[in-house]
Structure 1
Amino acid sequence: MRIRRIFRPSPAARLRLPLAAATGIGLSGLLLSTAVPRDLFTPSRTLPVISASAGDIRVLDGETLRLGAQVLRLHALQVPERGRATCRDAAGQSMDCGAAAAEALAALVAGRDVTCRVRGEDRDGRALGTCEAAGVEVNASLVAAGWALADAGAAPALGAIEAAAREGARGLWAASVPAPEASRRGL
């Protein structure tokens, strides 16, 4: 006589628990991969750096430098284009604001090595960054001298530097026609 087991699990029933566990782990992994940003567990990226010696630097306009073969626009600045705005110097003579801003930038980098931290690209594909020449931040120095306006997305500190330049009537704030606030949208 043969003994029959009544409560013997079927082969399919033995696979249910491992199959359910594997499915749960797979769904959890899928959920985490879509809900968690990809760079959360990776080390923070350092910003790329472009360096150039004094002889390899060219000023293209009041906010753009050529560092060797790389063209970089200064981040968070607005500078009038050459021929678009007229300023007056201390003697009351009219001059081109854009050309004066380019001269101020040239004076900041003249004879100095420049190091720039790239923050991205502008709409024309040029590198966008913050530069230092001999330990002096070029972006903030142009704003402090009054030859550049702080961009709308700039750090609050840059806005405070612009306000000080405005109060001191430096650069564009001396006597420009039209006023820098009026041309901010068109720069």
Structure 2
Amino acid sequence: MTRPSRLFRDGVTTFALLALLGLLALKMNNPPELIQTGSFYVVDGDTLARDGDRFRLLGIDAPEYRQQCRRADVDWACGEEARRALDKLMKTGAAECRGSEHDRYGRLLVTCKAGGVDINGAMVRSGMAVSYGGYAAEEAAARQAKAGLWAGEFERPRDYRREEKMGRGGDPLAGLSDYLRQFIGWDR
């Protein structure tokens, strides 16, 4: 074999080995995807529980359980309604939730399906949750249809939580730290 062809062969082999090592390093860096199937207890419009573990629906934010919204100048329990909507969706078939990352509270961030329905997207599409980085088209459709929350006035769930925290004597800078966590990505 001639020297240039041997150099070429050795270079290609070295490149292939380095690429393989790089792929293995990336694979080892990614946490494994966890799959949970079966029945879940619905805590609120975006949180599930099972066997002592909590799961947060990824990419959505639903009203807090005690949160009130306003429609046609009448208050309504939008947080309770969001919980009922999620409970109904979770019972449309065998539920399967998948995720690989946890939020700052230790909850596994999941995308759930039941009966072939993307539960996270369905909550936003029905207007019972807002998009939190992933369901913009579903939110636009709900907004246009004036579905759920969009049929009246409501406070975004994150704003409601911040005000509740401040009302209980919480840190006045809590909203800023929440924003920074979200902006920088610390809440994943």
TM-score by length of 1: 0.65
Fraction of identical pairs, as percent: 32
Which structure would you say has the larger Rg? 1
Question: d(CA) in 1 for partners of 2:154 and 2:96?
Answer: 34
Structure 2 match to 1:77? 60
Contact 1:79 1:98 in 2 (8 A): yes
Q: Any residues of structure 2 matched to 1:1-187 within 5 Å, and which? A: 39-40=25-26, 47-52=33-38, 56-88=39-71, 93-110=74-91, 112-151=93-132, 154-155=133-134, 158-178=135-155, 180=156, 185-187=159-161
**Residues 112 and 124 (structure 1), Cα distance of their counterparts in 2 relative to 1, 3 Å cut:** same
- CA drift at 1:171: 0.6
Describe the superposition over 1:111-133 as per-residue Cα deviations: whole angstroms up to 9, x where unpaired: 63211111311111011110001
1:177 and 1:159, CA in 2 relative to 1: closer, same or farther beyond 3 A?
A: closer
Distance 2:138 2:76 in 1: 24
Partner of 1:29: none
Contiguous gaps of at least 5 residues in structure 1:
1-31
Aligned length: 142
Pairwise CA RMSD of aligned residues?
2.9
| Consecutive unaligned residues in structure 2, runs of 5 or more | 1-17, 162-188
Is the alpha carbon distance of 1:184 and 1:125 closer, same or farther for their aligned partners in structure 2, counting shifts above 3 Å? closer
In structure 2, the CA distance between the partners of 1:62 and 1:69, relative to structure 1 (3 Å rule), is same
Q: Which has the higher helix share?
A: 2
| Distance in structure 1 (CA, Å) of the matches to 2:90 and 2:35 | 17
